[in-house]
Amino acid sequence: MGEEKKAVTVKAERLEEELKEWGVDLEKLKSRAHKAKADAKTEIEREVSSLRAKLNEAQRKVEELKTAGGAASTEMRKGVESAWAELKKAFDGARAKFK
């Protein structure tokens, strides 16, 4: 395995672990929504739906990165990094908002 492909594989594995952690956080938010009052419940459910869509998109991008392996273009890597930054920002905002 070439060094570049190995680096991409290691990065993809690290990203997948973080996605799993965010999935757990998302489930915690869903649980909180079920216990919340009606107006807060609607807001939390809307946030969970938005985060789920972003999480799914990030998972898709990681899969693309893994499939491309060492041949992953700079553009593809930037796409993954951009999606990652957006997802991280959204999760950080949700955590702060619904503590």
17 against 38, higher pLDDT:
17
pLDDT of residue 72: 65
- Give, to the nearest 10 degrees, the angle between helix 3-35 and helix 38-68: 170
pLDDT of residue 7: 77
**Cα–Cα distance between 78 and 55 in angstroms, integer?**
17
pTM of the shown model: 0.66
pLDDT of residue 95: 80
How many C-beta neighbours within 10 Å does residue 39 have?
8
pLDDT of residue 1: 56
Would you say 98 and 48 are in contact if contact means Cβ atoms under 8 Å apart?
Answer: no
**Cα–Cα distance between 98 and 44 in angstroms, integer?**
8
Asked whether the predicted pLDDT for residue 51 surpasses 80, the reply is yes
The structure tokens listed for 32 are 């909180």
